[in-house]
Structure 1
Amino acid sequence: MQLLQPQPKVNTSSLVPTLPIWDSNLTLNHVQQALWPKDALEKTQVDWLILHFNAWFSHHNVILFKGEHEPEYFPAILDQSAKIQFAHGFFNSALHEISHWTIAGAKRRLQPDLGYWYAPDGRTQEQQQLFEQVEIKPQAIEWLFATAFGRKFRVSLDNLTGDGGDGSQFKDAVFTQVQAYFSGQVQLPRDASHFLQCICLCIRNGKSLQATEFTREILD
């Protein structure tokens, strides 16, 4: 399996409450197209997410859209933008696909499905280990996104009919990855950091995420 080529990184101290580093050029007026519909139906929140993501990342010639089937990434061709398709209009599916996209480097974004190898549900233990190896960072970043939106995050083993185990080691790895982002041991991809900053401006009145919002118990 080929792993994703990492995108250029940025310092993640913006996640640490004592060392907030924000792009001073970004303000609520720059990023908010419409008020966040906090108490609305998921469909309304999904529409808000699509509107804002497409505005926030228009410089990358990519659009987010909800599909009727499984998630998929389509690279840009000719006069058509790249497309991040998430599954069945689910908000958390959109966050998951966005997290994969933020990790992918420029070369991966030229490939269908970002160049991922994927074995369907029913994977063997060995295949599941490979799957989890690639999923640790995307799911850790998805957890950051979900928390910024005030939404519940659940890890996904995506192997209901295969040999996925109880998932405890994978949950440990996702939690450790999140803590590594907060400590600065590992840096967030630049687009993930930008997405988080925009979310926090619109949803959290500019308040940074704090390490105390993430505990291992949340994942059980």
Structure 2
Amino acid sequence: MRLLLVRHGETPSNVDRLLDTAVPGPGLTRLGERQAAALPEALAGEDIDALYASTLVRTRLTAAPLAAAHGLDILVRDGIREITAGDLELLPGDSEPGERYMRTVFAWAAGDVRLRMPGGESGTEFLERYDAVVAEAAASGAATVALVSHGAAIRTWTAARALNVDVPFAAAHPLANTGVIVLDGSPSDGFKALTWAGATVAPAGEGGPAGEPLGPAGRSDGLRGPRP
């Protein structure tokens, strides 16, 4: 199965840099609407057979132009919603609360799944719910599936489940609004990331460390160092 993990378009909370994870959440900004409208052209080379979105408003609005372009229904699933911020909800994402949030989710990806977000879910709970939607998509028989989801959820799940993406890479490479990670594989055999926001992901030992994105000429894209 070819799996497209698509982050939603820009929201007012993104602009204000807030940890906003509750359902139903905000809609899109005008820029976010333009980003969503541009997705069908950006993914024109993908023959999408099934389209999923989370229970948050912003993912369904982002998925709508794709659904129209491909003649698909949007399958809404709670399992691919954003990682619950718990006690950190609506606190600044670009300061200590945001750093604590990201430290927690990447600890899950590194294997400490019993750790719990303050006032929120554990890594086990998050991965189980996200895995369930991916498994449903795989069982459907669709060759190419798009999941419109959320930045932290996508990066955490990919770091935990993609065989060629490690936690340091995922932590150092945020996914912009409507950014896409393309993977290939299955729940039983595992997944490999093919591209991360348009850059090819090299296998371990080929052109760089695990999960290093390479440009079209095989040169590093220059994305270095941790980012929030």
Same fold by TM-score greater than 0.5: no
Alignment TM-score, normalising by the size of structure 1: 0.27
Q: Which has the higher contact order (CA 8 A, sep 6+)?
A: 1
TM-score computed with the length of structure 2 as normaliser: 0.26
Q: Normalized per residue, which structure has more strand?
A: 2
The structure that is helix-richer by fraction is 1
